[in-house]
Structure 1
Amino acid sequence: MVSALLHPRLADCRRLFLRNYEVYINIGVHDFEKRGEQRVVINIELFVPLASTTPLEDKLREVVDYDFMRATVAKRVGRGHIHLQETLCDDLAEAMLEHPQVRAARVSTEKPDVYPDCDAVGVEVFRIKED
């Protein structure tokens, strides 16, 4: 995927990220996947305009709080079984874009324990909020 930072609508943004957030969730379409939790690694990048998120007073209220990303993940995975990583990525990206200060979001999920001969299998989505 081409770097999101090269997109012209993001030239005036800063990038926030949540990197390698491990959760254990019920995810998968196969019967054996529906009987227990799997380890999933989630990465999120948010692009927020510098004009509205550059702190002038060094106060948390002036920026997008990182807790927003973690809380949003917890809320989504707490809703129950998810069949597809694609669904999880799409749901998380949509929820990230609901924040009024977020212009774009990149979300990826990885299942690192599926195959013994590779690091992980996963999905990534990138979305930009419509004007």
Structure 2
Amino acid sequence: MAEFTTILDGLEVMMRLGIHPHEVAPQRVVVSAEMTVVYPAPLGEDAIDEVLDYDFVRAGILAMVADRPFALQETLCEAIATLCLADERVRRVRVRTVKADVYPDARVGCEIVRTR
């Protein structure tokens, strides 16, 4: 068995996220996902077919935030974690979202960890 950590870090998206009146317009949110991926055996070839292709996570997040406004970061993190766990090889996922511009002096974030 082989275990890897696959990371999508710092994906910046413009999306509707929040409950306050000033958050009805899209705002900058930074998303990171860290997935523990388990393979049945050590990798034998240097081929994308052998491993988790993280493009599905990035594309899924982009589609999700384009189609749906979220009230809460917790709900957004949960949805992204569910997306990552859709691949059976993903055993654990840590998702972090950060509202980058909500305050002039701080960023506000949320993090979730889900395991299979």
The 1-side partners of 2:34 and 2:100 are apart by 20
Tell me the equivalent position of 1:29: 19
- The answer to whether structure 1 residue 103 and structure 2 residue 91 are counterparts is yes
TM-score relative to the length of structure 1: 0.82
The answer to whether 1:51 aligns with 2:46 is no
More strand by share: 2
Between Structure 1 and Structure 2, how many residues are aligned?
115
> 1:125 aligns to what?
112
Q: Deviations over 1:77-115 (max 9, x none)?
A: 122211111110011001111112111100000011111
Q: How far apart are the structure 2 equivalents of 1:55 and 1:62?
A: 7
Given the alignment of the two structures, is residue 41 of structure 1 paired with residue 30 of structure 2, yes or no? yes
CA RMSD of aligned residues (A): 1.3
Deviation at 1:68, TM superposition (A): 1.5
Q: What's the CA shift for 1:70? A: 0.3
Moved over 4 A (4+): none
TM-score, structure 2 as length reference: 0.92
Q: What aligned pairs does 1:10-29 form with structure 2 within 5 A after superposition?
A: 13-29=3-19
Counterpart residue identity of residue 105, structure 2: D
Unaligned runs of 5+ in 2: none
Q: Secondary structure at the match of 1:113?
A: coil
Q: For 1:121 and 1:104, how far apart are their aligned partners in 2? A: 24
